[in-house]
Structure 1
Amino acid sequence: MIKPSLRYALLLLFILLLAACSSKGAHTADDVSEALHKQGLEVRGISLDEAELLASTPLEFNGVLPSAYELTLPTADMAHREFTFVYAFKSEEERIRINNSDGSPNPVTLNNLHANTVQKHNLIVIYWSHSNEDKSLLRKQFYTAMDNL
């Protein structure tokens, strides 16, 4: 027979383990910002109003608005502005379900910018670059950051 105090301690330990497991996997826009920053990029949050001025379509994707950031490389002269939009869903399952129901790889378009989309965990992250080529100035850092999430 297990003593009541030991039973409560085991129950508390079990609850803490469950809480730790359930919090894994749900990434946030701050996680993306930090990953980009670790790759040497300057990441500046921009307002949804500013992001809407850049967009040629509505920003909302099935009820989710993005967190928007402007990206710069401190050691380079940026001739064109580049951005990242982060759509964070409650879970990976929700992201997959919503994205499959929409059928669109990019929920939004920006004027004169090319989308580089990564879908990982519960996130859809779009890096908007001026160049459509692999030579885009920040492309390597973006994909390395997404791999490290």
Structure 2
Amino acid sequence: MYETHGTVVGTVITDPIKRETGSGEEVMSFRMASNVRRRDRESGEWVDGGTLYLTVSCWRRLVQGVGASLMKGDPIIAHGELRTNEYKTRDGDPRSDLEMRAMAVGPDLARCSARLDRSGRARTALSADGSESDDDAPAPAPAEDGESAVVDERLGVLVG
């Protein structure tokens, strides 16, 4: 059983591949890399450190979302249960591989932008008095300058 949880920020380095287990359950997996960079105080230049490589496996509802959204080269954030798989190569050399059973995967919005598809979710807005309404009109939200703003449901951001 997995017991160590972690979050890794990195880049997808292989295209996600969907396969089916012997019991008929779908799983989507891909490899990702997380690089360390730091600024050298003496030279003032950026220096690359080590790279963490891991296999990310996605189950159940994540299969569809990852399959429709991610591809090689995408910047992501993955959170899940970590474990090490130990094995021997054909030559008998011992090896280990880090694997994450993902609970959440998404784009790293510090390095890209994303549009969300909310077609599968119920659209419930809160009215000004705090009660729920199911109308499709954007809900007003207070802006920083005291004027009203509107939530653009397509983008999920405040507009105006």
Fold match (TM-score > 0.5)? no
Give the TM-score normalised by the residue count of structure 1. 0.21
- Which one has a bigger Cα radius of gyration? 2
Give the TM-score normalised by the residue count of structure 2. 0.20
| Higher RCO (C-alpha 8 Å, min separation 6) | 1
Query: Could you say which structure has the higher strand fraction?
Result: 2
Query: Could you say which structure has the higher helix fraction?
Result: 1
